[in-house]
Amino acid sequence: MAHAKLRLPEDRALLSFIFARFIDGEMTGLLEGRALGYAPTLQAADFLARQVRDEIRHAQMYVALYRHVNQGEDVPRSPWLLKAIMAPVTGRLWAEHCFLDKALGERWVLYLMRQLIEDTQDDRIERTLLAIAKDEEAHIAFGEAQTRDYIETGRFRRYYLWGLFLRLDLAMAIAYRLLRPLIRRRYSEAAAGMLTRFFTESRDKIAVECAALLGVQARRSLSQLLVCQVIFWIRLPFVGWWRGPRPGI
Ligand SMILES: [Fe+2]
Ligand SMILES: [Fe+2]
């Protein structure tokens, strides 16, 4: 269904905000370098090294888009709190990293990009986002493949990762609840429609896709969320200490 399109200069404020957050997100992609310390194989380490390169290139492309939207203005420094919220969400386990940061976190970013591609009337924005989206799809596919390997051996693992998914899903729901009045008040009708679809339709699609990946039902269960979160916190101080930085072959 065709929607009203975001345009410049009317939607400059929202587009600037999103591109500045995308830059923050890409910068946290540099933390992929940390995961190199526990990549299980040389192949995985090689993928991460290339991904870090991709994320740096994406950050540069978003800086160019920000300037395009703001007639050459520089990107302002990000508020500390926003950066803290966007920092990677995982613990020290390879599988948690691959599922939460790659298969899930990057999927959210990809969905927002697709929404922008569909709903923005600006060739340059569309072209740049299409180019970056291709790389993000590859990062997600890698995260999915690693997740499948991990869950192969046990039902508990599926249950656990779905529980961790639910925590982030809830965070998105809360973010939408908090932002909804602001979205309606501050942005154009096209922008409000785009954001609403992202927080509702995309959130549901992502839940269905992640459930299919894990081989579980897409059921939102508060008790499962809490149980898995408690397991996550209890394990956190103990897991991941005994791995060497040298990956297996
Ligand atoms: Fe990226
Ligand atoms: Fe990425």
Cis peptide before 9 (omega within 30 of 0): yes
Ligand number nearest to the C-alpha of 25:
1
Question: Packing angle between helix 189-197 and helix 106-119, nearest 10 degrees?
Answer: 150
Residue 141 falls inside a structural domain:
yes
Ligand 2 centroid, distance to 101 Cα (angstroms): 9
| Nearest alpha-carbon partner for 211 in 138, 104, 111, 115 | 104
Ligand 1 centroid, distance to 223 Cα (angstroms): 33
Residue 3 falls inside a structural domain:
no
Residue 244 falls inside a structural domain:
no
Residue 221 falls inside a structural domain:
yes
Ligand 2 centroid, distance to 185 Cα (angstroms): 32
Q: Residue 136 and residue 130: Cα distance in Å, rounded? A: 10
Per-residue pLDDT tens digits for 182-215: 888 888 889 999 999 999 999 999 999 999 999 9
Residue 248 falls inside a structural domain:
no
CATH number, domain at 111?
A: 1.20.1260.10
The model carries a pTM of 0.90
Q: Which domain holds residue 59?
A: 12-235
Count the Cβ atoms, other than its own, within 10 Å of residue 209. Answer: 17
pLDDT, the chain, mean: 89
- Look at 59 and 86; give whichever has higher pLDDT: 59
Residue 245 falls inside a structural domain:
no
| Nearest alpha-carbon partner for 231 in 160, 162, 168 | 160
Q: How many domains does the chain have?
A: 1
Ligand 1 centroid, distance to 230 Cα (angstroms): 30
Ligand 1 centroid, distance to 39 Cα (angstroms): 19
Residue 21 falls inside a structural domain:
yes
Ligand 2 centroid, distance to 188 Cα (angstroms): 29
Per-residue pLDDT tens digits for 127-185: 999 999 999 999 999 999 999 999 998 899 999 999 999 999 999 999 899 989 988 88
Give every CB contact of residue 94 below 8 A, 6+ residues apart in sequence.
35, 38, 39, 40, 44, 146, 150
Residue 247 falls inside a structural domain:
no
